[in-house]
Amino acid sequence: WQEVLEVNLTATFAMCQLAGKRMLEQRRGKIVNIASMGSYIGSVNVPAYVASKGGVVQLTKALSNEWSGRGVCVNAIAPGYMHTDLTIFLMRDETRNREILSRIPMGRWGEPEDLIGTLLFLASAASDYVTGAVIPVDGGFLGR
């Protein structure tokens, strides 16, 4: 529990504080946190993970409320089921993989590269009036 919260939530808070300090001095900046679709759903067997990622969502919104009027936009991306070393065990479990894929309208696991467009948007001037947002990148999983 403690290790997962330290990595996912406490470290995110610490990095936001470090980057935010400089950005607030400059009166401009973009912070993009990494939440998870687990921020929205309870999932199974990972209570510390979903609790920490839910905390990232609320941290993102709180910092946006505090900092956006001072030129710093704070947003987050919420990846869905992504093909990574940490999820390969789920992909190899035929039953679980089938269950997951049946809920994803796009019919596939996400690849890390699928996050790039959303990240570039949130880090660019194209999102200058976007703050406090959490954008799912999940192949439509949350829409079901």
Distance (Å, whole) CA 96 – CA 90: 6
**Which positions are annotated as active-site residues?**
49
- Which strand (E) or helix (H) includes residue 3? helix 2-5
- Which strand (E) or helix (H) includes residue 50? helix 47-67
Are 138 and 110 in contact by the 8 Å Cβ rule? The answer is: yes
Half-sphere exposure of 85 (CA within 13 A, CB side): 0
Structure tokens at 47: 């209570």
